Amino acid sequence: MMTTGSVYDVIVIGAGSVGNPTACSLAQAGLKVLVLDRRPAAGQGENKAAIGGVRATHSDPGKISLCMESLKIFSTWKEKYGFDIGWKPGGYCFPVYDESTEKALKELLPYQKKYGLNIDWVGPDEIKELIPGINAEGLRGGTYSPEDGQASSIRAPLAFQREAIKHGAVYRFNERVTGYLRSGEAITGVVTTKGRYAAKWVVLAAGSDAAEHSTLLGFDIPVQPDSHEAGISAPIAPFLPPLVVDLRPGPEGKTANFYFGQNKEGQIIFCYTPKELFPGTNRESLSEFLPVLAGRMVSLLPRLKNLLVRRVWRGCYPMTPDGVPIVDYAPGLDGLILAVGMCGQGFMLGPGVGAYITSLIVHNKPLISEEAQSCLRYDRNFYEVKEEKLK
């Protein structure tokens, strides 16, 4: 197989939540970008499983910094480029019913505020205004962060791809990267099922498949997917501004946190984290998901008891051992950047990751602080116990 004559500045492996906005950001900065994806269109991997929550209110400085950048991009997209990505401001709300969660969330606030996040504790009356009809029994209050929001994981890929193409990016679909071109200790391109392409930089943004590249590259990429189910209802009259995260364990003992929101079209979109995780990439829907979810949703918000659910689906969180992504230069190899292990937050992280990688490649001046960068490094200790309470 011949190497293509055209030498790119950057090859992005994966047109997903991360690769697609990264390609867009790099192309906007004037680089010649090639995007390769094994699937037939952008955003068809884990991206389309995301329910579209976008928040910067994490407790890890790396995630906070990247998502603050993402929020700037999501919230201004329509006004800048005229394309509707389903952005809905309205914030995130974590209602609280028990003392220990109240204590944990309150303890986190000074830390979150230190990073400039707009988040505060609000009393039960304000929560009742934010989430009309919420079960008031035992409600103690909760946190509210008005600058967070939601966007459509179906519309956003199209928006990023269009903008990238406008700036000269080339997308090649149904083409899997199967190897790398090397020169000494540098990656100089990729081998695919259809050809070979040379580039100064390669960005690996392969989502749940990232670990497959460990053998190809000769170092471990600690990303293991586990699967999660979600669903969406028929539209109902708008009543719910924020995305809601219920941290209580579900009454049936099968669920950890449960989160949902009402999208711009009025549909309720929802997801829960099972208490016992499902490792692997099985995407078959489970018969227990909807009954468990329905019970949980109605116990929090009884007015949803007649909600018509239209569709459920399953996708994966590409997990790292510590729940924080890896966005860093590859160990021991020049020319390769890892943007993997986005866990349950790759949709909200994607545009920020793209801006950060652009700052590394184009401006040689990192967009985020040294502290934030250190959280995202490949060579960090993945098994150090962290205080990441809002996964």
Ligand X SMILES: Cc1cc2nc3c(=O)[nH]c(=O)nc-3n(C[C@H](O)[C@H](O)[C@H](O)COP(=O)(O)OP(=O)(O)OC[C@H]3O[C@@H](n4cnc5c(N)ncnc54)[C@H](O)[C@@H]3O)c2cc1C
| Minimum separation from the CB atom of position 104 to ligand X (A) | 21
Burial (CB < 10 A; 0-12, 13-18, 19+), residue 78, is middle
Binding track over 137-176 against ligand X, x by CB under 6 A: ---------------------------------------x
- Looking at the Cβ atoms of 115 and 317, the one nearer to ligand X is 317
Q: What are phi and psi of 339, to 5 degrees?
A: -135, 75
Strand order through the sheet with 88-89:
53-54, 149-150, 88-89
Alpha helices in the chain (DSSP H): 19-28, 61-81, 99-114, 124-130, 155-166, 213-217, 289-300, 346-361, 370-376
Q: Is 271 in the site for ligand X (CB under 6 A)?
A: yes
Give the binding range for ligand X (CB under 6 A) out of 122-130, 277-285, 314-322, 356-364.
314-322
Q: How far is the CB of 357 from ligand X (least distance, A)?
A: 12
Which is closer to ligand X, CB of 128 or CB of 178?
A: 178
Residue in this structure with the two tokens 């471990």, named with its chain if needed: 220
- Chain positions 12 to 71 lying near ligand X, rule: CB under 6 A, are 13-19, 36-39, 44-47, 49-53
User: Cα–Cα distance between 260 and 321 in angstroms, integer?
Assistant: 25
Query: Using CB under 6 A as the criterion, what x/- string covers residues 218-237 for binding ligand X?
Result: ----------x-x-------
Do 210 and 340 contact (CB within 8 A), yes or no? Answer: yes
Identify the bridge partners of residue 12 per DSSP, sorted by sequence position: 35, 203
Our finding on whether 348 is near ligand X (CB under 6 A) is yes
Q: Which is nearer to ligand X, 139 or 353 (CB)?
A: 353
- x/- site string to ligand X, residues 171 to 200, per CB under 6 A? -----xx-----------------------
Size of the site for ligand X (CB under 6 A): 41
* Strands 196-204 and 33-36, bridge-based pairing: unpaired
Nearest-CB residue for ligand X: 16
Residue 324 within binding range of ligand X, rule CB under 6 A: no
Separation of alpha carbons 24 and 10, rounded Å: 11
From 207, 241, 352, 354, residue interacting with ligand X (rule: CB under 6 A): 207
Tokens of 31: 């680089």
Residue 15 vs 105, nearer CB to ligand X: 15
Give the residue with the Cβ less far from ligand X, 103 or 162.
162
Among 60, 148, 209, 246, binds ligand X (CB under 6 A): 209
> Could you write out the DSSP letters of every residue in 89-114?
E--EEEEE-SHHHHHHHHHHHHHHHH
* Cβ at position 76, least distance to ligand X in Å: 18
Give whichever of 24 and 205 is closer to ligand X, judged by the CB atom: 205
59 DSSP assignment? S
Q: In this chain, which of 90, 189, 335, 344 binds ligand X, going by CB under 6 A?
A: 344
Terminus-to-terminus CA distance in the chain, angstroms?
44
Write down the least CB distance from residue 143 to ligand X, Å: 17
Give the binding site for ligand X (CB under 6 A): 13-19, 36-39, 44-47, 49-53, 176-177, 205-209, 228, 230, 271, 315-318, 342-348
